[in-house]
Amino acid sequence: MPEMNETAAPDRIRELRAQIERHNDLYYHQAAPEISDREFDALLRELQDLESAHPDLAIPDSPTLHVGGRPLEEFLPAKHLAPMQSLDNTYSADELREFIIRLRKLAEDRPLHFTIEPKVDGVAISILYEHGRLVRAATRGDGTTGDDVTQNVRTISNVPHRLSGRPPAKIEVRGEIYLPKSVFASLNTERDEEGLPPFANPRNAAAGSIKQLDPAITASRKLAAVFYGTGFWEGEHPVTGRTLLASLEKWGLPVPEKILEASDTDGVVTAVESLGSIRHNFVYETDGAVIKLDNIALRREFGSTAKAPRWAIAYKYEPERAETRLLDITVQVGRTGTLTPVAELSPVFVSGSTISRATLHNEEEIQRKDIRIGDTVLVEKAGEVIPAVVEVKKACRTGEERLFQMPTNCPSCMGSLHKDGVAWKCNNPSCPAQVRRRIEYFASKQAMDIEGLGEALVNQLVDASLLANIADIYALEKAPLLALERMGEKSASNLIAAIDESRSRPLWRLLNGLGIPHVGVTSARDLASHFHTIDALKAADVPTLLSIHSIGAIMAEAIHTWFQSADNIALLDALRSAGLNLGELDEAAPPTDTRLAGTNWVLTGTLSISREEASDIIRRHGGKITGSVSKKTTHLLAGEDAGSKLAKASALGIPVMNETAFREITAQE
């Protein structure tokens, strides 16, 4: 860093502190970072160097001395039993060697052994288990106090609610909540279809998901977790980090799938490089490797700085980017009519595969990055999954590059367009491109799950005039199918059987598959649980829709409008005639009486029956279920180990009912 005079240093320090605090807020609280980790670390290091050079300008609350961000007001605070620190970062093999040299000096000739594991790019989490039972989950927050996200973490399928074996009576386990790369790809595809801004990477998506106020939304995101260490540990502690991880795994906690070991500097550097070469094979995104001293007694002896342990460091990998030429920008039409510009690239190898196309999301994204046809661009895979144009090399421009303009008509049907937020949409519901995408989505696993009816076959069927809309799926017969190229007797029979099987799918799958604007899996489930039949949903007005916890004003209006359309009414009539379940065959029974009519319930803690059973009892008696406590909540059903919801209900004066009282008011007369 160049020397700075006494006059300029205070201004630059103030500027850096303001920038870092702003970027901390964007990263930790809004899940919308504007700069890369490397750019952020450069700002932080510059501030550290300036504060070291000018100690009279150091302050106790400098961002160089604290971790992460403040707890959010929407969640109850959760104080960690042991501080939750972050790691120092390096991007240099030379700095990694210097780290090991420092440890050897501290060790005074004692032998050192290291573990090297993937650095999962997720959201740090600390989970407290007491007598093997999950009692609290908290984000990192400022390192001392985080946000209580217990109910959301309970929805993560690979986080055990109760540990196996004989864990300590009280222990904090530390790890990362992440969004699997495959789920990230599907989530961004859905957001593109709805004209919503895509998540930049799986870490942002995971952060946004774990901070949802409604646990049902968190559950729909299919998060996962991996654990790598501990905070507070009651009783005798393991001797090494390796035995600690083995204990976590024995108790049923997922641990890093690849852990390497080394005892010298060259071995550590080699292990870091080895992990880097296979990191694309992991289900989660990794942005580096974590090097830890294995001996836990030495970890305690070497201690930590104000914000990071001295015995560990994170080596950050350079993002894999490739330079190529943007040959053209084409426009795709999605199932909801959204027009999505796509970069057509000169093929280039990135992160394990050759890519020739990358989504540009919308017109505003192109203008913001000043992307032009003919540009030399840098591309990488967001979350190592989705190809993205991350930078334009403007210095390479020749003057022959062309500005892109969105078409004034739909490129598929030449129909008119309208602007919906940042997205342009086709007005023609019979647009061939929309028809194809709607049929594909309707048949997909997250909707009606019709095995065999994928993109290639849908295109064949539409081109052969065998499918013009969703309802036509149920009129398909074997003979016309056999006339299609590469369609044999067995394939045709399997497809007809899969279509027949889909007629009895539950109502929520149908609602999700219909392509109602803004309705996804979670809201489809909520609508099906509330209305039970499509006829009841069709008859609902906007105020009735707004009474459902997860339905907001925009979604309510969109749902109501969709069910007023003559084309959509005709589609529903056709599906009814084809024998589809429109809710009447679902197992959830209509209310048997109305003693709980007008009540809104939230469930918390451990009950003697499953939450699904308790929810079904409430619905059968006319009550409604929501995911989080609010002013609309009328009752809280609390089992054992009730957490933040109980505290919030008590603060709001909401009646709290135990299971005994609940059984009394719902008992059959």
For residue 309, give the DSSP letter. B
Amino acid at site 302: F
- Cα–Cα distance, 602 to 625 (Å, whole number): 6
Distances (CA, A) of 96 to 39, 103, 132, 289, 503: 19, 11, 38, 11, 60
Class of residue 241 by CB neighbours under 10 A (exposed 0-12, middle 13-18, buried 19+)? buried
**Phi and psi at residue 472, to the nearest 5°:** -65, -20
**87, 290 Cβ separation under 8 angstroms:** yes
What whole-number distance in Å separates Cα of residue 189 and Cα of residue 479? 35
628 contacts 603 by C-beta, under 8 angstroms: no
CA angle 295, 298, 300 (to 5 degrees): 115
Between CA 257 and CA 118 the distance in angstroms is 8
Task: Pick the closest to residue 212 from 139, 158, 285, 120 (CA basis).
Answer: 139
**The two structure tokens encoding residue 394:** 């403007």
Tell me if residue 288 falls in helix, strand or coil: strand
Q: What single-letter amino acid sits at 150?
A: T
DSSP assignment, residue 313? E
Whether 308 contacts 298, CB under 8 Å: no
Between CA 328 and CA 343 the distance in angstroms is 6
Query: Please, what is the Cα angle at 281 between 278 and 286, to 5 degrees?
Result: 75
DSSP state of 127: E
> Which residues are 126's β-sheet partners?
138, 174
Helix (H, G, I), strand (E, B) or coil at 551: coil
Tokens for 104? 């050897």
Which two tokens mark 341?
């510009």
Report the alpha-carbon distance of residue 309 to residue 302 in Å, rounded. 8
Write phi, then psi, for 86 (nearest 5 degrees). Answer: -105, -175
Largest CA distance in the chain: 86
If one counts every other C-beta atom within 10 angstroms of the C-beta of residue 6, the result is 9
Contacts of residue 382, Cβ cutoff 8 Å, sequence gap at least 6: 184, 188, 198, 200, 201, 388
Neighbour-count burial of 56, counting CB atoms closer than 10 A to its CB (0-12 exposed, 13-18 middle, 19+ buried): exposed
CA-CA-CA-CA torsion for 271, 272, 274, 275, nearest 10 degrees?
120
Distance CA 435, CA 458 (A): 10
Q: How much helix, strand and coil, in percent to the nearest 5, is found in the chain?
A: 40, 20, 40
- Residue 316 among the catalytic residues: no
Q: Residue type for 525, please?
A: R
Q: d(Cα 394, Cα 416) in Å, to the nearest integer?
A: 34
Strands (DSSP E) found in 266-364: 286-293, 312-316, 322-333, 339-350, 353-359
> What are 542's two structure tokens?
């906007």
Three-state DSSP class for 526?
helix
Per annotation, catalytic residue among 79, 105, 119, 478:
119
Show which residues are catalytic: 119
